[in-house]
Amino acid sequence: MTASQSQPQPASNPTAAESDEQRYERLLAEASTIRGVSLWQDAWRRLRRNWMAIGSLALLIAMALTVLLTPALPLQSPILTDLDHRQFEPPNTRPARLDLRQRLAEFESDVRPLREQLRTASGAELTELRKQLSARYAVEHPFQKLWHKPDWLSRQLLTLRVALFGDWCIPSLCGTDQLGRDMLARICWGGRVSLVVGIVATLVSLVIGVSYGATAGYLGGLADSLMMRIVDVLYSVPFIFVVIFLITILGQGDIKAWLDRHGINQITIFYFVIGAIYWLTMSRVVRGQVISLKNEQFVEAARTIGASSRRIIFRHLIPNVMGVVIVYLTLTIPAVMMFEAFLSFLGLGVSPPDVSWGLLVNDGIQVITRVRIYWWLVLFPGLTLALTLFALNFLGDGLRDALDPKMKNR
Amino acid sequence: MPLLVFLLKRLGWMLLTLWVVYTVSFFLMRSVPGGPFDSEKQIPEPIRRNIEARYRFDRPLIEQYGRHLWDTLHLDFGPSYKLEDYTVNEILAEGFPVSASLGIFALTFALTLGMTAGVVSAVRRQSVFDFSFMALATLGVAVPNFVLASLSVVLFVFVLGWLPAAGWGSLQQIVLPALCLAAPFAGYIARLTRTGMLEVLNQDYIRTAYAKGLSQRRVVLRHALRGAVLPVVSYLGPATAGILTGSLVLERIFFLPGMGSHFIEAALQRDYTLAMGTVLVYTLLLFTMNTLVDLAYCIVDPRVRLEQQA
Amino acid sequence: MPPWIRRVFPYAVLASGLAAVAWAAFFGTLPPADFTFSNGDEVQTVDPAKATGQPENRVLNGLFEGLLTNMPTTDQPDEQRLVPMEPQPAVAESLPEISEDGRVYTFKLRPSARWSENNGLGGRPVTADDFVWSWRRTLHPDTASKYAYQLSTYLENADKYNTGLVEEGDRVEVELADRPDPIQPFPRGTIVRGTLRRIVRPPAPAADPAETLEQRETQWRRRWTYVVEIKPVLPDAGQGGRVETHESPVDWAAEGNLRAFSQDPEQAEQPGAEFGSLGAIQPCVHVLLDFGQVGVRAEDERTLIVTLRNRTPYFNSLAAFYTLFPVHRECVEKYGTPRWTKPENIVSNGPFQLQFRRIRDRIRMVKNPHYWNADQVALNVIDVLAVKSHTTGLSMYLEGQLDWASNVPKLMIPELLPRDDFITAPALITYFYRVNVTRPPLDNVLVRRALNLAIDKRQICERVTKAGERPASSLVPPGMAGYEAALCGQFDIAEARRLLAEAGYPGGRGLPKVEILYNTDDNHRAIAEVIGQMWKEHLGIDVELKNVEWGNYLDRQRELDYSVSRAGWIGDYPDPNTFLDMFVTGGGQNQTGWSHPGYDALIAQAAAEPDPEQRMRQLHEAERILMDELPILPIYYYVSINMVKPYVRGFSANILDTHPLHILRLDGNAASASLPAEAASPSEPASPAEPPSSFVPAVPAETDTP
């Protein structure tokens, strides 16, 4: 896209009958109203007219909210297996039980003596007892047993859930899997992983790509062509090696121990591995933008009318680069999610009991055979994944159109 | 001769790229835990040493690198560590035509389906065609190809019984994998064509063409399409890369003996020489394809000059 | 850009596009095969000396034939629907004569056994010398056979030949550095024989940080000088027409000449003056134990005499195993390894010969007209497909593209179980978890017992694996004649919690995270998920699952870089020892860090024990210790799974999961029309009550457990 046209233009032709003074006044008035329409407002106005993009945006927001609030929703446990009664249950509305209140009460009565002791204890004994109590919380608390290592936020949301819904939980509307686990809960919890992988990996690629691309574009000359040649070379490197390599190296004993100490788990590694692969295109795009913007007339123009370089950067350069970057972001997220699914297909994805959509879909296609198709195992996760990718793609397209000044007033 | 200069420059870059790819992947692979001779049963130490000596694993890494690079320069990738009856060259010679056939069919499908849909959508803008083609195109982009493959096996093999489930050796067996492989690219090409066409259809020369009284068919095919082809041509480079990647999955699902399945197995089983061979062939392929695309771009678009591209 | 290019360009693109499509659409067509089956994976090699897995086993049994071969002893399945299999005469015309002490086996070869013909080679009879030469090739260090231990463990002196270690005073063969092709170990260079008098070792080199210890030692060995007393060749050597002739027998009693050899004469040290003048040090490729010392020799063309190190009751099973198959010497020497295995070169002696091979696609075998029993071979063309995805394999089977699927997706087993063409049989394989006993808290035996007790193995068999696997309470699977397994504790949550509390972790409190390592596979993952959940739920242990791919998995297991790791073991032979000797201190397959002197002692005693009953008792005691200490947690005993079209005759379920191809035949009427997928319904075949076979031998099989 070229940014030169994004400068405000007069909307109508002046009529000859006007006096100069009137004309200037009218122009001034017009200009002041027009200045109010920034690039972003303009883009938003155009985006609003694209109902597919808006629908996609709404869907994505809804999905993000669901995924964010998953712990507070009355879902079944995503990891609790029931091999004896619930394997491969088709979608149904039979009530399900989690007995959360009862479990919580039992736990509370279990730790009550410890709490009593805690009240009267002091000094070294107090710290010791505190440690014991927190150890019991970390292991025996029902949240720890029914969910895989919920973080602090999830635990608060789970508490909220118990307060709101009590023991009631949504029946297995999406059926259950091979080990009798509720698919709906797994899809929601898998969505947390998938969306977070998508977003974080994209952000990682953004950071690397933008800084690399901007540096190359800014430096120009030999450095630029060298840096871009490196990108070209990397384009031809088959990425799967990088992935296998990084995942295995980072999973090594001592490296893993070090990572564990710093609270980094496999999924975090994943973000970085994928992010580290997807920065190439981003860097190219940003470099192109920076180069074209450096020499653009509107930058020159702004400079001649005495705008400070701060103003130039924040009013002119950043918004123009941001447009492309945002469009690219919405298109990278689906690519990353797809890649995560691809890695799951190869068995290099997230480790159970964590789930992701890619893993669920891959499990689903394993049971598509002529003998029997457990359709719900592939339909629901596949639909969720496809819908998300669909929405992201539409939103990306919409944004691109909206941010493209050539589309202005169209 | 700008063409010659361009090609020579590209050749130089290609050799450099291949060397870098070679070096990086050589050291990456050697530093990954696990060697090619691991097996669940432990091999007695002296035997292990003999095996390693046979493949020069007992030499210092840098010496292995040097010797192997020397052989590679002579286009000899050495024996495969895992498929012991074959040299890497033989495996590549067997696998490449399979992958190439699959890729050619996929690219053909992607281009014909994508461009047709794109042109129809652009000409009949806002019609039912436009809407449904674009929805299909986005769906093609949004569904992972292994899911698409499984679903199409259900539809075309189990339900309709039109095509065989898997395998290699006849034209029927290639249709399904090639279609699944082509789907995302067809979708993308359809959207590119549509956007390009819409832009071109608003240009003055198209209006002039209509004004001259040319038929719509002639205007679209002779004049508009030419302009719309440009973004598609520039997309062919990334599309080739994507088709190579996609074929990894599809070759596995459809049981095709192509380079993709060799590559995955080699990487997972630490068959260093084979993995290296496939990586280099992929790199070569990508680079050639990108060069051809650049060349084609210069020919199709008079504004672009070869000197800038090199 | 000249304008004409621009004009021509679209047509050029179109033309080249069409040409490309035309090229891509051109397929070399293969005529259809009589019988097609999926082999699970690509065959790594068809060289019997180098092959190692189950897919290789299926192919090699078609292409080659050993002294004996595993065959069903009867057509009638027993009450478990199993057919007993035993090694039966193949190239040998009868079962071997065994000496009193059980150490000397005499095989009489069938005169009608012949090699296939290819490119002017082959066609001649299979002789005893073929076996001697093939076994020698397998054992030769340069062949680097991974399965050489199938021979070297049992044959007298074979391990010394195999490892290439010689001592002063040994009779040795020295191979001079005049091989026709230095890269090919065969044909070998000139061989001289004599007694090794002295090894002169230069001082060991100083440590170089750039080299590993192994590299240093290999380099050092190259500079050793061997002083050998070369014996004269017997004047009346050569027994005409024998393959082994060019290495003429020597007169060991005679006085010989002293000579010095080294792999690297330039760097080697001159031996001292005590040997007098030896002349220049001669370059040699190897100084190996004289093969005459190894326990195999050809008495005449049709008599092979094998001498074993110890009494080995299961040697007949080994004689039917592919590592011991013969290969055709002239073919190997003419083309070299690996080119002799190409379809256009290979000469083999099995019921089939190799016609065509495409990697990760198919191996096509056709009937070998020279096979001694060719009249009885019904199939003419067999396609062996390397289908790796079980789902794809099942689809192909159901679509009629396969006649035999050697595995199915695990998740489909409940649906397939009622079908008649779904065949399962117990196998000598145990699925278990290794526990790294060097890593707290797993160093505590109480914790390990608690972990074992908290696994509901019955539920895993019934609800996860579902193919009729049996929950395991011992390492040694049932089916070993005369052996009673020692059992570990059964599923008991209360007791498990009690033990954990006793170990100092009441309710799982304070217990560090336990990680279950497994290699990428849906079945392993499902089991790990279930067990992880059981431990979490019943014991309050924080369990993490660690999925790695195969190479990484082996590496971590070897380096004890895991907490709990999935494992499987296929019995090499039908004897408890194959399972139990894994866990001796420092054993290559131990990989748990576990060590128990009492256990080691019992295993050693059992190896030397002549009385079979006493031996079994000792092995039982050893397993008792293992099951008390629990460095491994047994989970279930495997079953083998096959799907075979109903029109295939001669396919029998057996404990070895071995299915000879040459006895398969197709029912004429059914063969052409493949049955509809849902036609089969469960029905019990009439099987007369027969006493269960007392001793069912197993062949050593794949290492990568399914």
Does the pLDDT at position C126 exceed 90?
yes
As a dihedral over the C-alpha atoms of residue C182, residue C188, residue C193, residue C199, rounded to 10 degrees, the angle is 30
Tokens 């007209």 locate to C369
Which range has the worst mean pLDDT, A76-80, B222-226, C127-131, C564-568? B222-226
Does the pLDDT at position C382 exceed 90?
yes
Tokens 């897995």 locate to C53
Average pLDDT value for residue range A360-377: 82
Nearest chain C Cα to A83, which residue? Answer: C463
Residue C704 banded pLDDT, cuts 50, 70, 90:
very low
Residue C178 confidence (pLDDT): 84
CATH value at residue B141: 1.10.3720.10
Residue C480 banded pLDDT, cuts 50, 70, 90:
confident
* pLDDT per position as a tens digit, A282-322: 888 888 877 777 777 777 787 788 877 677 766 776 667 77
Q: Cis before residue C441, ω within 30 degrees of 0? A: yes
Verify whether the Cβ–Cβ distance C703 to B41 is below 8 Å.
yes
For B:17-56, CB contacts with C below 8 A are 32-44, 46-47, 49-51, 53-54
* pLDDT per position as a tens digit, B16-65: 888 888 888 788 777 766 566 666 556 666 666 666 666 777 677 888 88
Residue A361 near chain B (CB below 8 Å): yes
- Within 8 A of A358 by CB-CB distance, chain B residues are 144
Does the pLDDT at position C236 exceed 50?
yes
In this structure, what are the phi and psi dihedrals at residue C562, rounded to the nearest 5 degrees?
A: -165, 170
b/e for C25-37, b at 16 or more Cβ within 10 A? eeeeeeeebbbbb
Residue B48 confidence (pLDDT): 66
> What range defines the domain where residue B124 resides?
88-309
Structure tokens at B218: 């002639």
* pLDDT per position as a tens digit, A65-115: 999 888 888 888 888 878 778 888 888 888 887 788 888 888 888 888 888
Quote the CA–CA distance of A137 and A56 in Å, as a whole number: 41
Could you tell me the residue ranges of all domains in chain A?
51-98+167-407
Residue B25 near chain A (CB below 8 Å): yes
Q: What percent of chain C has pLDDT over 90?
A: 33
State which of A129-133, B167-171, C381-385, C550-554 shows the largest mean pLDDT: C381-385
Which range has the worst mean pLDDT, B198-202, B252-256, C364-368, C449-453? B198-202
Quote the CA–CA distance of A155 and A37 in Å, as a whole number: 44
Q: Which of A341, A368, A393 sits opposite B144 (nearest CB)?
A: A341
* pLDDT per position as a tens digit, C288-324: 999 988 999 898 889 999 999 888 878 888 899 899 9
| Those residues with Cβ within 8 angstroms of residue C128's Cβ, 6 or more apart along the chain or in another chain | C107, C109, C298, C299, C300, C301, C302, C303, C304
Q: How many domains does chain B have?
A: 1
Nearest chain C Cα to A371, which residue? Answer: C415
* pLDDT per position as a tens digit, C537-556: 888 888 888 877 777 788 78
User: Does a structural domain hold residue B11?
Assistant: no
CATH class of A51-98+167-407: mainly alpha
| Those residues with Cβ within 8 angstroms of residue B106's Cβ, 6 or more apart along the chain or in another chain | B178, B179, B181, B182, B185, B243, B246, B247
Verify whether the Cβ–Cβ distance B286 to A235 is below 8 Å.
yes
* pLDDT per position as a tens digit, B279-288: 888 888 888 8
- Identify which has the larger pLDDT, C463 or A331: C463
Q: Which of B238, B293, B237, B266 is nearest to B92 (CA)?
A: B266
Quote the CA–CA distance of C296 and C290 in Å, as a whole number: 12
Residue C108 confidence (pLDDT): 95
User: Does a structural domain hold residue B43?
Assistant: no
Mean pLDDT value across chain B: 81
Residue B249 confidence (pLDDT): 82
* pLDDT per position as a tens digit, A45-56: 888 888 888 999
Quote the CA–CA distance of B28 and B32 in Å, as a whole number: 6
Mean pLDDT value across chain A: 78
User: Does a structural domain hold residue B32?
Assistant: no
Residue B14 near chain A (CB below 8 Å): no
- Identify which has the larger pLDDT, C641 or C706: C641
* pLDDT per position as a tens digit, A215-236: 887 777 888 888 887 887 777 6
Q: Which of A236, A342, A385 sits opposite B287 (nearest CB)?
A: A236
Tokens 């050489």 locate to C148
Structure tokens at A76: 């079944």
Residue A362 near chain B (CB below 8 Å): yes
- What ipTM describes this predicted complex? 0.84
As a dihedral over the C-alpha atoms of residue B201, residue B207, residue B212, residue B213, rounded to 10 degrees, the angle is 60
Residue B34 near chain A (CB below 8 Å): yes
Average pLDDT value for residue range B61-90: 86
User: Does a structural domain hold residue B252?
Assistant: yes
Verify whether the Cβ–Cβ distance A232 to B279 is below 8 Å.
no
User: Does a structural domain hold residue B49?
Assistant: no
Average pLDDT value for residue range A274-286: 81
Quote the CA–CA distance of C244 and B171 in Å, as a whole number: 52
- Identify which has the larger pLDDT, C413 or A366: C413
- Within 8 A of C162 by CB-CB distance, chain B residues are 46-47
Q: Which of B280, B282, B277 is nearest to B90 (CA)?
A: B277
* pLDDT per position as a tens digit, B131-141: 888 888 888 88
Nearest chain C Cα to A255, which residue? Answer: C561
Average pLDDT value for residue range A246-251: 63
Quote the CA–CA distance of C412 and C401 in Å, as a whole number: 19
- Within 8 A of C542 by CB-CB distance, chain A residues are 138-139, 144, 149
* pLDDT per position as a tens digit, B147-191: 888 888 888 888 888 888 888 878 888 889 999 999 989 988 888
For C:359-418, CB contacts with B below 8 A are 359-361, 385-389, 392, 395-396, 398-399, 401
Verify whether the Cβ–Cβ distance C459 to A84 is below 8 Å.
yes
Residue B209 confidence (pLDDT): 81
* pLDDT per position as a tens digit, B105-142: 999 999 999 989 988 888 888 788 888 888 888 888 88
* pLDDT per position as a tens digit, C36-59: 999 888 888 899 998 878 888 999
Q: Cis before residue A353, ω within 30 degrees of 0? A: yes
Tokens 């999926």 locate to C38
Residue C690 confidence (pLDDT): 34
* pLDDT per position as a tens digit, C62-118: 999 999 999 988 877 777 778 888 899 999 999 999 998 888 999 999 999 999 998
Amino acid at B90: E
- Chains in touch with B (3+ beta-carbon pairs under 8 Å) read A, C
Verify whether the Cβ–Cβ distance C399 to A370 is below 8 Å.
yes
Q: Which of C395, C528, C542 sits opposite A139 (nearest CB)?
A: C542
The angle subtended at Cα B91 by Cα B39 and Cα B52, nearest 5°, is 35
Per-position DSSP letters for A143-154, written without gaps between them: HHHHSSS--HHH
Mutate to test the interface with C, among A80, A81, A260, A269 (most CBs of C within 10 A): A81
Instruction: Report CA torsion sign: A326, A330, A331, A337.
Output: positive
Residue B47 confidence (pLDDT): 65
* pLDDT per position as a tens digit, C185-231: 888 888 888 999 888 888 877 776 656 666 677 778 888 889 998 88
User: Does a structural domain hold residue B20?
Assistant: no
Does the pLDDT at position C676 exceed 50?
no
Task: Work out whether strand C665-666 and strand C648-649 pair parallel, antiparallel, or are unpaired.
Answer: antiparallel
Per-position DSSP letters for C613-678, written without gaps between them: HHHHHHHHHHHHHHHHH-SEEEEEEEEEEEEE-TTEES----TT----GGG-EE-HHHHHSPPPTT
Per-position DSSP letters for C143-195, written without gaps between them: G--TTTHHHHTTBTTHHHHHHT---TT-EEEEEES--SSTT--SS---EEEEE
